[in-house]
Chain A
Amino acid sequence: MMRKLKKISGFKPLDWQGFELRVPEDWNFSVESGDQREGFVRLASISSSFELKWEKMGKKKKFSIESVVDKLIEKLQKSDKSLKLLRKGSSEVFGHNALYFHFESEYKGYGTAWYCDKGEKVFLGLFTFKPEYKQAMLAFKRCLGSLKCHTLDDWNTWAIFGFSFKTPSKFELMERKFLVGHTTLALSKEELHPFCTEKTEAFFQYWSPANVKFEETYSDPEKWFEEFYEKELKKRYKGKMEKEGFRSLKINGHPAKTLTSTTRRGLVSQTVSKNSTHMWYCPETNRIYALTLLKGLRKTRIVPSKKYEAIPVETFDKILASVSCH
C-alpha cells in the first residue's frame, strides 16, 4: 500500500517535478514551466508569493551557492533600487546546507538557495510578502520545513488541485493542460530498442463540476465513457480501438469502471498500445476522473517484439493504488 500524504492543517500539498511541498491553502498555483532537470513554479496569494526554481548542475558545471545567492540579490537590487538587504545567514533545507537572506523594500522577503547532492540540482527560493501579512514568517518556515527536494524511493508524487498520484521517477511530464474545470497530465517513459520504440504512459484527466457538465451520465462511468470519453480517447490514441470489456473496481473508496482495450495503427510501421482506462466519479470534489495506463510499441510489422510487449502490471497497480482524489 502506497504511503498516504501527510496532512498539515491549513496547508495543502504541491508535489511537482520530483519535489514535495506543503503550502498555505490560499496560495494559488499560478505559473509553472520546465521539467525535472530545470524548471520553475510560482504560487501567489493576495498578500504574498513564493517562487521556486531548480536546475540540474551535473558534475562538470562549476558553481558556488554563495555566488548564486549574490547573483539573485544583485538582480533584485537592479529591479528595485529601494531594496535593502537586512541579513544573510546559513540554514538547512531537507538535510542540505542552505544560505538565506532577508530583504525589505515596499515588500519584505526571504531568499534561499541550496544544492541537493541526491538530485544534483541547485534550488532557489524567493518568498515576498506585504508588511501587513503577520503570518508570513510562520507560513514560510512551515513551507520550507515541509520541502523535500528529492525522492527517497524512485517514485515521484504529483499533487495539485486536490488530487495526487505517484509515477516512477523515470516518467517525464510530457503534457499538461490547466483549464477551469479541466486538468490534463500525461507522464511517460520511452525506451528505444533496435527497430522498435517502447512507451509506457499514465494519462490523467478530470472534469468539474461533473454534475453540471455531464448531468445525465456523471454517476455512471460506463455510460459517460460511451457518450463522451470514447471520442476523446480515440482522438488521442489514433487507430482502431478493440474494446475488451468493462470491469468494476474501487478507486479511493469510489465505485469505478475499468476498460481494457487495444489500439492499432499503421501498416508497415505499426503502433500498438494496450490501454487500461479507469474512470470514476468523486462526490467529495464533484469531479469525474479518468486515468489511462498505456503500454505502447512502435515497430516495423515484420520485426518480432514479444520481449517488449509485456505490460508492467506491478508498476500500473502501484500507480493506481497511489491515486488520491479528495
Chain B
Amino acid sequence: MPIFRKKKPEKTFSQEEFLRLKPVKNPYLKWDKSETGEAVITLELKKTKGTNFWSKLFPTPKEKRISLDKIGTFVWERCDGKHTVEQIVKGLQDEYKMMRQEAEISLTTFLQQLSKRGFIGVLIPEVKEKKKEEPSTLRKMKI
C-alpha cells in the first residue's frame, strides 16, 4: 500500500565526488545573452485552468525571464557536460581572484539552486563506496 512505501533516500555525494560531477543545462530550456553579456533564461509559464480563465479577462504573461549576474553567467556557460565542478571552481578563482573555499561554497549553493529549479542536471562519474565518518571532535570535550 502506498502509505507504507518508504521514501527513496536522496542521492548525496562526498566532496571528492561532487568535484568530479559535470553539470549540464536542461536541453529544454531556452536561454540567450542580454546586451550587457548576462545570461537570460526564458521559462514558459504553465497553462492551468485558473490562468486560462484569467487570461480571457486580463493579459497574462506567457513566459518568465530570469537574468543571471556576471558570475552566474560564467558558471552557466560552463554547465555544458564537459566542465567538471572542480574546473569551474578553478575558473572562478582565476577569473575573479576568489579564494578556493569561497569559490567552492558559492558554486555549490548556486548549482543546488539551479538543480532544484530543474535548470541543470549532472553527469555522474563512477561512485566509490562511502567511508565511515571521522572520529568525533574535541569541541565538546572538557579538559
Q: Please report A residues at the B interface, Cβ cutoff 8 Å.
A: 25-26, 28-29, 31, 33, 40, 42, 46, 49, 51-53, 55, 57, 63, 68, 71-72, 75-76, 79-80, 83, 105-107, 109, 122, 124, 126, 128, 130, 161-162, 180-181, 208-209, 211-212, 284-286
Contacts and interface: CB of A to CB of B under 8 A. Distances in A.
B102 A124 contact: no
A208 B143 contact: no
B139 A212 contact: no
Contacts, number: 86
Given A63-B143, A106-B132, A209-B96, A126 B138 contact: yes
A204 B143 CA distance: 33
Given A107-B134, A180-B106, A286-B96, A68 B143 contact: yes
A64 to B, nearest CB: 11
Contact of B139 (A42, A72, A208): A42
Given A46-B16, A107-B135, A180-B105, A75 B141 contact: yes
B97 A284 contact: yes
B131 interface: yes
A49 B98 CA distance: 23
Contacts of A26: 100
A244 B136 CA distance: 54
B138 A28 contact: no
A102 B31 CA distance: 56
B70 interface: yes
Interface in B16-57: 16
A57 B99 CA distance: 37
Given A55-B143, A68-B143, A209 B134 contact: no
Contact of B102 (A52, A68, A71, A180): A180
15 contacts: A53-B138, A72-B138, A80-B135, A106-B131, A109-B135, A122-B143, A124-B143, A126-B138, A128-B134, A161-B99, A181-B106, A208-B97, A209-B71, A209-B98, A212-B69
List 9 A-B pairs, minimum CB-CB distance, nearest first. A286-B97, A209-B96, A53-B138, A79-B136, A180-B106, A28-B101, A55-B143, A51-B138, A40-B139
A161 B63 CA distance: 42
B137 interface: yes
A209 B135 contact: no
Contacts of A109: 135
A151 B65 CA distance: 56
Given A162-B99, A286-B98, 18 more contacts: A26-B100, A29-B101, A31-B139, A42-B137, A46-B15, A53-B143, A55-B143, A107-B135, A109-B135, A122-B143, A124-B141, A161-B101, A180-B109, A181-B98, A208-B97, A209-B97, A212-B70, A212-B71
A72 B97 contact: no
Contacts of A28: 100-101
B105 A128 contact: no
Contacts of A52: 138
B96 A75 contact: no
B135 A79 contact: yes
Interface in B88-136: 96-102, 105-106, 109, 131-132, 134-136
Nearest to A285: B97
Contacts of A209: 71, 96-98
